[in-house]
Amino acid sequence: MKSKVSIVRCSSYQEGLVHESVRRAIDLIGGITNFIKPQSRVLVKPNLLMAKPPSAGIDTHPEIVRSVVKILKKIGCEVFVGDGPSVWGNQIENVDLVYEVSGVKQVCQDEGAALVKFEKKIWKKNFPFTSWVDTSDCIINLPKFKTHDFTLLTGAIKNLFGLIPGTYKTELHKNYFDPKDFSKILVDIYEEIRPCLTIVDGIVAMEGDGPATSGKLRNLNLLLASSDCVALDSILALIMGVAPLDILTNKEALGRNLGQAQLDSIEILGEELRDVMGEPFMLPSTSLIRKIPRPALKLAKKLIRYYPYLEAKNCLHCQACIEACPFQAISMKKEKINFNYSKCSACFCCQEACPAQAIKVKRNLFAKMIGL
C-alpha cells in the first residue's frame, strides 16, 4: 500500500492560518482520529534545538505546536509537549530557557498542555529514551525542515534524536562520527519509536549550512504531514533538489522496510509536488562531495576533508563551541578560539552550538584543487 503524504501551502505563521493549514494537512491523510484515539495521552515533540526566538527559524514554530495541541484537545487527549534540546559536550542547553525563548512555554500555558522535561530515562534497544515515550500512548513528531551539515537533511527521522535525553547524545556523536554510521543510529531510533503522525514545519525552512545560526532561511510556505517518516523525508529531499536515497537515513530505513522512499510508492495529497519544487536548496558546504563522479568517490572520500574555522570578527568568546565539541578539539588561547585538527572528526557540533555564525566550513587543499 502506498504511503500518504500531504502537502499544504501556508504563507505565514499567523495563528488562524496555521491552524487551518495544519488541520487540512491532517484531514487530507485521513483526519486526526485516523492516527490518534480520542482520550489518548500524546507526547508532542517539536524540534527545539536552541534558545532562539521563532523569527530565527531554527526551532519548530510555536504556532504549529499550538495548532496540534488544540486539535488533540478537541478529541479529549491529554497532551505533553517536550524536547531534549541540544547538548554541547557535557553541557545541556538550558531547557527552561529554550522553552521560554522558543515561545513553546507560552503556547502550552495558553492551551493547557503540560510542558515536560526529558529527565527520566528508560532503556530500549540499547538507547536511553525519555521515559515520556512510555508514559504516552503515542507521539506526534513536529520537525523543522532544515539542511544539516552532518546529515544533509534534518526532518522527520532526525528529529527523533531529541528523544534521547542529556549527554548520551554526545556519546553517540563521539562513537558514530561517520555520517553513514550515525544515520544507522538514527534509523535504529526510528525503528524503536515510531511516531503516529509527523507534521513538518516548512513554512520557513533552512538551506545552506544548517541547522542553526549559519544556515539561511528560505520562505517555502509549506506544511507536510504523514505517518511515514521515510516517505516524508523523501519528499523533503525532492523539494531540496536531492535524490531521496542520497539521504542516508532514507536509504537505511528503506533497506529495513520501515517506509517508502520511491515516488511511485507515495501518494501525494494536496499540492502537486512539481508545483512546490522551486530552485534547488543551497546545500551545506560539506555536501559538495556529491559533485564527484561515483567511480572516484571512494578514493576522494579518503582525500577530501572539511574543517571548521573561526570567523574571528563574529566570535563572542562565549566558549559554547568548546563545550559542544565531543572530541575536545577546541580550546581558547589568548582570547582566541583554536581548533586542533588532529582531533577533529568534522561532526560540526561546534558550528551548530555557535550562537554567532562565527564558525564556518573550510576545505582541505585537495578539495580545493579539484574544485569542490
Residues within the interface to ligand SF4 (CB under 6 A): 308, 310, 315-321, 324-325, 327, 329-330, 337, 339, 344-350, 353-354, 356, 358-359
Minimal distance, residue 278 CB to ligand SF4, in Å: 31
Minimal distance, residue 159 CB to ligand SF4, in Å: 21
Minimal distance, residue 129 CB to ligand SF4, in Å: 24
Cβ proximity to ligand SF4: between 299 and 312 the closer is 312
For residue 310, the cross-strand partners are 359
Cβ proximity to ligand SF4: between 26 and 350 the closer is 350
Across the chain, the runs of DSSP E, i.e. the strands, are 3-9, 41-46, 78-81, 87-88, 91-92, 114-115, 121-124, 127-130, 138-142, 144-148, 152-154, 197-208, 215-226, 266-270, 306-310, 330-333, 336-339, 359-363
Tell me how far apart the alpha carbons of residues 232 and 244 are, in angstroms, rounded to a whole number: 10
Cβ proximity to ligand SF4: between 133 and 344 the closer is 344
Cβ proximity to ligand SF4: between 75 and 356 the closer is 356
What is the SS3 assignment for 278? Answer: coil
Minimal distance, residue 266 CB to ligand SF4, in Å: 35
Cβ proximity to ligand SF4: between 193 and 359 the closer is 359
- Check if the beta carbon of residue 322 is closer than 8 Å to that of residue 339: no
Tell me how far apart the alpha carbons of residues 322 and 370 are, in angstroms, rounded to a whole number: 32
Minimal distance, residue 177 CB to ligand SF4, in Å: 8
Tell me how far apart the alpha carbons of residues 93 and 82 are, in angstroms, rounded to a whole number: 14
